[in-house]
A and B are shown apart, each in its own frame.
Chain A
Amino acid sequence: MKINVFVTPRKNVLDPQGAAVGHALESLGFAGLVGTRVGKLIELEVEAADTAEFRARLDQVCRDLLSNPVIEDFRYEIAQK
């Protein structure tokens, strides 16, 4: 099973990297830009069945390691069963 985990800076947390990329986009003349946030994509390949128990374990590692809940949000999608 392939899982894509998306980790993004929390909405109310300053994102200096996003701001810098936003400025660069503006200087390229990219019109209408209202916001830029930079996060991470983590691709996992796991040999497991997609059960409630597995989802609970996945949630746990997303919270404990892959993201820091003080500054980041996460979500994931099962890309391929």
Chain B
Amino acid sequence: MNVAVVQFPGSNCDQDAFQLFARGLHLPTRYLWHKDTGLGDADLVVLPGGFSYGDYLRCGAIARFSPVMAAIREFASAGGLVFGICNGFQILCEAGLLPGALIRNASLEYRCLTCELRVEASTEAFHPGSLGAAVRLPIGHGEGNYRIDEAGLARLEANRQVLFRYAQNPNGSLGDIAGIRNERANVFGLMPHPDRAFERFHPSQDGVAVARAVLAARFPEMLRRTG
């Protein structure tokens, strides 16, 4: 099971994401550059946090047109696993691989704190029965306010595409939404950072279980793994 972490100019959580999968989950992990046109042997492609292309125009708007995104789009449409964290989530929304958009926090403040997230029953792995009723993950963003039209929100809820909701909404997100998946359950996006929640010195170690829940969408044996 191979993991690839994409580096865009301005990514700044690429190494955190790399370490989460390499040392937190003990999986072969490597980087992809935004100009790469192939994904090699990746089973999971991770779009990390940061400020790709300086957040110019809109967060994720320019990264969406990177050469690597064409390969990721093809990979996702063939059922490949894609996981976007923070700016990675914004990129996936801009690319239309996930529905909705992320706008400026309602408070207009950059929010950096550890949040309690209520676990929704979305997949076998993203489920209170698997992850527990709540997890704690840090956030660090100025544009994490999730927006979607009424019909889109109704579809998300009907298909159980919401993964996590903030126990205390830090950014004004519609429905307290902190993370979602696509209908097919192979593309996942979160504003909170599992990549900042696995080391002993991190405020929480729940990031490993969350990363494992993403992998479990294609590799159910991840659910039974304990190490």
List chain A positions with a Cβ less than 8 A from chain B: 9, 12-14, 16-17, 20, 65-66, 68, 70-71
Verify if B149 is at the interface (C-beta below 8 Å from A): yes
Interface centre among A12, A17, A66, A70 (most CB of B within 10 A): A70
- Nearest CB on B from A64, distance (A): 8
Chain B residues contacting A66 (CB-CB under 8 Å) are 57
**Interface contact A14-B172, CB-CB below 8 Å:** yes
**Interface contact A70-B106, CB-CB below 8 Å:** no
- Nearest CB on B from A8, distance (A): 13
Q: How far is the CA of A13 from the CA of B106 in the complex (A)?
A: 12
Please give the number of chain B residues whose Cβ is less than 8 angstroms from any Cβ of chain A in the complex: 19
Instruction: Look across to chain A and name the residue whose beta carbon is closest to the beta carbon of B58.
Output: A68
Instruction: Look across to chain B and name the residue whose beta carbon is closest to the beta carbon of A38.
Output: B104
Contact code string B102-113 (vs A, CB < 8 Å = 1, else 0): 011111100000
Verify if B154 is at the interface (C-beta below 8 Å from A): no
Q: Select A68's contact among B65, B94, B145, beta carbons within 8 Å.
A: B94
**Interface contact B147-A13, CB-CB below 8 Å:** yes
Interface centre among B57, B108, B148 (most CB of A within 10 A): B57
Verify if B61 is at the interface (C-beta below 8 Å from A): yes
Verify if B140 is at the interface (C-beta below 8 Å from A): no
Chain A residues contacting B105 (CB-CB under 8 Å) are 16
Verify if B13 is at the interface (C-beta below 8 Å from A): no
Interface centre among A65, A66, A68 (most CB of B within 10 A): A68
**Contacts of B89-134 to chain A: CB distance below 8 A:** 93-94, 100-101, 103-108
